Structure 1
Amino acid sequence: MSLAIDVVGGKWKMHLMWVLAEGPVRFGQIRRKLDGVSEKVLAENLRQLEASGIVHRELYAEVPPRVEYSLTPLGLTLNDALAALETWGDQHREELAGRLQP
C-alpha cells in the first residue's frame, strides 16, 4: 500500500486536511466544520496526523489553555497532492454519483 494512503487513509483525514488548509484552527471549529465526526475520532485523527508530521499542534500558555492546529510544511505539500484527487472527483462526479454508497 502507498505510504501516502497510509497517512491520509480513513474516513476523516482527507476532510480534516481541507479544513486545516484554511489556516490555524481550534478543535471546536474543526468539529463544527466536520459534521458527524465524534470528539474521540477527531482527536485520534489529529494525533495520527501530528505523529506523521502533517499537522502541527500549538499549545498557548493561556488560561484557559488554547490549542490550534495547522498544516506543517510537509502537510501543505500533501494537501497540494490531494488537490489533484479532488479535481478528479469533481470531473467524474456525475459518473460516480450513482455507483457510490452514501
Structure 2
Amino acid sequence: MDARETASCQLFRMAIDLLAKPWTGRILWILQDGPLRFNELAAQVDGIGEKVLSARLKELECQGLLVRRVLPTTPVKVEYELTCKGRGFRQVVEAVTRWGEQISLPPA
C-alpha cells in the first residue's frame, strides 16, 4: 500500500469512527436546516439523553463541524450551527443514498 492509499484509508477510518458514534449522523442531519438551540435539538433527536447530546455537540465542535454560539439574551441562550465542513455531511448522505440505490437493484 503506498503512502497516498494509507492516508486515504486513515481519513476514511476517521470519518467512519466519528459517524459510528450514536446520534452523530442524526445531529449533523438535523442541523443541516439551520441553527438550533440545545432544547430544540434535543426535541428533534428523539431518545437522546442530555449528557450524550452535550458530549456529541462538544465532539463535533472540536472537530470543527459546528460552532456553539452564546446569544446575548436574558436568560442566556446557546445555539449550535454547522460550519462549512459540517454542511458537507449532506453530500456524504446523498452519495451513500445513491450507492444504496445501486446496490439494492437486482443484478443485471
Bucket of the pairwise TM-score, normalised by the shorter protein: 0.7 to 0.9
Superposed, which structure 2 residues align to 1:1-102 within 5 Å? 2-89=13-100, 91=101
Aligned residues: 93
TM-score scaled to structure 1, two decimals? Answer: 0.79
Deviations 1:21-64 (A, max 9, x none): 01011111111111100000000000000000001111112110
- Shift, 1:85, TM fit: 2.3
Structure 1, 80-89 or 7-16: larger mean CA deviation:
80-89
Secondary structure in 1 aligned to 2:21? Answer: coil
Say which one has the larger Rg: 2
Q: Is the 8 A contact 1:7 1:52 kept in 2?
A: no
- Shift, 1:87, TM fit: 4.4
Contiguous gaps of at least 5 residues in structure 2: 1-9
Runs of 4+ in 1 over 6 A off after TM superposition: none
Query: Among the aligned pairs, what percent are the same residue?
Result: 34
TM-score scaled to structure 2, two decimals? Answer: 0.75
Secondary structure in 2 aligned to 1:37? Answer: coil
